[in-house]
Amino acid sequence: MIDTKAKHIVQPLVEKSADTALRAGMHANQVTVIGFLIGLAAALSVYFGYYWTGLLLLWVSGFIDTVDGAMARKTTPSKFGTVLDVSFDRLVEIGIILALAFRFPDTMWAMLLLTASILYTVTIFLTVGAVSDENTEKSFYYQPALAERTEGFLLLSLMIIFVDYLLFFTLLFLFVEIITAMQRLYHAKQILDK
């Protein structure tokens, strides 16, 4: 939701960063890998209890994730790049969830439910993207919904910052994912059953 509504606010910085990286001779897939490695460093930081470092690295990784897409659109996007981008995004998110789950094993059951809800929601998202005839500036159709990447990062951030309330924020994230899944299914029926 935030990604769709507020894109115009951060897009100038994203475009400028993409232009700088391209002038430096970097390719979008290289930037994707860098963002992924920073995201993994975020998960490790969280696991070892360096929460603020992990939080900062998570958001740097997320910003880089937007830059690589802008770079791809300014050059020749690769289908493999799309696969790297989308799959690495999920690994970073799951990395943070696993780091918290292993650090706080009493919340493991909620983390498993959250992971399952993310898996289901992403499955709907990717399937609709693959079968939809809708066109967007991205390499496949992106369904808008309550929880897009920024909402996920905000909820992960709350989980990282407020570990004393980890179970509450994990269940809140789970609830948001369930609403998102229902929205995406409803939206899929509208655009695919024409």
The residues carrying an active-site annotation are 89
Length of the chain: 194
Torsion 91-92-93-97 (CA) sign: positive
Give backbone dihedrals phi and psi of 59, rounded to 5 degrees, phi first: -70, -35
Q: Which among 52, 79, 71, 69 has a CA at the least distance from the CA of 160?
A: 52
- Angle subtended at Cα 54 by Cα 148 and Cα 121, rounded to the nearest 5 degrees: 25
What per-residue string of b and e applies to 60-89 under the rule 16 or more CB within 10 Å gives b?
A: bbbbbbbbbbbbbeeeebeeebbebbbebb
Tokens of 137: 């500036």
